Amino acid sequence: MRFAEAAASLNAGKSGMPDGHETMFPADVLSPAALRLLAACDRASVFGGMGSWNDLGFPDPAEAEEYKAVSEALYAAVNTAYLAVANGDHT
């Protein structure tokens, strides 16, 4: 569900930001596209906290390796997107 919400954020209205996040940046600092990407990152960031993505375990070694590879790719993608928002040209 979180990933579906993240994908939907990319096609949302002006910002797609979750309720309460509209004041995260001064008005008009980020473009609507950057705000949508930030919202998607917020929803796709599933690492940390109790009951998080990191709490999963798999007894099958092949599944454990796949989980590790997917986790690394997801972590890299979300953090790369955060950097794109922070460092993008928002003029």
Gap between the Cα atoms of 40 and 65, Å rounded: 26
What is the number of alpha carbons within 13 Å of residue 62 lying toward its C-beta? Answer: 0
Write out the two tokens for 47. 């690492």
pLDDT digits (tens, 9 = 90+) for 2-50: 899 899 988 876 655 656 666 677 767 888 888 888 888 888 989 887 7
Write out the two tokens for 42. 């917020």
Where residue 55 falls among pLDDT bands split at 50, 70, 90? confident
Gap between the Cα atoms of 16 and 38, Å rounded: 9
Gap between the Cα atoms of 83 and 77, Å rounded: 10
